[in-house]
Structure 1
Amino acid sequence: MVSSCLALVVLLALPFLALAGDPDILTDFILPPGNNVSLLNGTFFTYTGLFAIDSANPAKFTVTKATATEFPALLGQSVSYAALSFGPGTVNPPHVHPRASELLYVVEGPLLVGLIDETKGELYAQTLQTGDMFVFPKGMVHFQFNSGDHVARAFSAFGSSSPGTVSLPTVLFESGIPDTVLEKSLHVDQATVDVLEQDLAPLAPAPAPSPDTPPTPKNGGAAPAPACFALLACFAAALLL
């Protein structure tokens, strides 16, 4: 009888044991080393640096973050934030956040977003309008792309004070992986690898989409530009191999 009850308790506890996130803290908040608690005031809990517009070049993609690195009051709070600004034709390249889900809210659209289900090799894309939200589950490859001719803006909330960002283009083409490995993994030739390994600085804004853009994905979102779609296909293939 005791063993049966114990087994039941373990089974009921399994869903909770599977949860992952920032560890709980034993105090209401954490003061970084070297800070004097007697001098604490409202400034510690205030952050004023969340701006995502590059005044020198407003046409490019820019992101500013409020994580524990920029805003130490977030230490142990399991939340963080980011502001994103997309010039026409700019993209936030495929990337993952290994420690947090992301909830993106569009304040000035439209904005094409998408994520890849690596278990199925399937792209889920959607064109978001102003006021729409989209969730990117933790650890899943995703991107945002402004295919319009006006600036798009969004805010992202994360379920971690330090969500982390792993950019696939950077990891694949700027980390020193041998070209032979990239050729075989992506099923491309050396010339293609050479092109992809070129400077990953933001490209010039793309022109507005033409009438002969690729078909709309089956889930209702607009399709990415051809070059972006080709890169996504390479990334998806690499994940599945």
Structure 2
Amino acid sequence: MLHILALFSFLLVSSSHAAVQDFCVADLTAPQGPAGYSCKTPAEVTADDFVYSGLSQPGNTSSLFNAAINTAFVDKFPGLNGLGLSMARADLAPGGVVPMHTHHGASETILIAKGSITAGFISSDNTVYLKTLKEGDIMVFPQGLLHFQVNTGRTQAHFWVSFGSSNPGIQILSNALFSNNLPSELIEKTTFLDDDEVKRLKALLGGSG
């Protein structure tokens, strides 16, 4: 019995030493490293570091994709640093789209607040998981898999997004192919698109080469 009590006491002391810091509010004036931002000193932390109001208003959907994505990632919301979560707001006009993309750093969950959204993802064995979602529906997109959302309704749509990281990262497939100087002939060989289509997409998305 004394051995058990001694072990229990040791575990309590060890855990209390491991949890000496309640949070690590990001010091946005310092460079971000692989492990995130360094911490502000406790004397510099205020309640404002744990509050963000940037998602309160609809975004401007007058864009190429007829969609607006406003993010609450750690670079805007320093209280998220080290907590493993973040959020975003998506507003889509009728026909608007969040194009095929991935988040290498997190899984994603969406909650439909208004309208109707068709959403899906593609698994690593190329199976498609597709669903039309209505208000109140939730869908999850596993980390690293290609996924998308389209407003297939007749009215403005709006959904909330949560991520399992304070900085989930994003790579949009169309931008990765057509918004840079990757030579057109290489894109044509690796995607089986013809030269005219590659040049059209590069002109549309600002690429060259």
Amino acid at match of 2:152: S
Counterparts of 1:34-183 in structure 2 under 5 Å? 35-51=40-56, 53-54=58-59, 57=62, 60-119=66-125, 121-183=126-188
- Are residue 195 (structure 1) and residue 189 (structure 2) matched? no
Unaligned runs of 5+ in 1: 1-23, 202-241
Cα drift, residue 170 of structure 1: 0.7
- SS where residue 32 of structure 1 aligns? coil
Amino acid at match of 1:90: G
Contact conserved, 1:104 with 1:133, CA < 8 A, in 2? Answer: yes
Amino acid at match of 2:122: I
| Equivalent pairs, count | 177
Contact conserved, 1:96 with 1:141, CA < 8 A, in 2? Answer: yes
**Identity across the alignment (%):** 32
Contact conserved, 1:113 with 1:126, CA < 8 A, in 2? Answer: yes
Question: Normalised by the size of structure 2, how large is the TM-score?
Answer: 0.77
- SS where residue 124 of structure 1 aligns? strand
More strand by share: 2
How far apart, in 1, do the equivalents of 2:52 and 2:89 lie?
13
- SS where residue 83 of structure 2 aligns? coil
Amino acid at match of 1:27: Q
Question: Normalised by the size of structure 1, how large is the TM-score?
Answer: 0.67
- SS where residue 152 of structure 2 aligns? coil
Of 39-48 and 125-134, more deviation after overlay is shown by 39-48
- When the two chains are superposed, the root-mean-square deviation of aligned CA atoms in Å is 2.4
Cα drift, residue 125 of structure 1: 1.0
Contact conserved, 2:25 with 2:80, CA < 8 A, in 1? Answer: no
How far apart, in 1, do the equivalents of 2:165 and 2:19 lie?
13
Deviations 1:25-71 (A, max 9, x none): 97221133474523533222111111462358499310111111110
| Structure 1 consecutive aligned stretches of length 4 or more whose deviation exceeds 6 Å | none
Q: Structure 1 56/165 Cα, relative in aligned 2: closer, same or farther at 3 Å?
A: closer
Which protein, 1 or 2, shows the higher relative CO under an 8 Å CA cutoff with sep ≥ 6? 1
Match of 2:190 in 1: 185
Of 190-199 and 148-157, more deviation after overlay is shown by 190-199
Match of 2:32 in 1: none
Q: Structure 1 70/99 Cα, relative in aligned 2: closer, same or farther at 3 Å?
A: same
Q: Structure 1 71/168 Cα, relative in aligned 2: closer, same or farther at 3 Å?
A: same
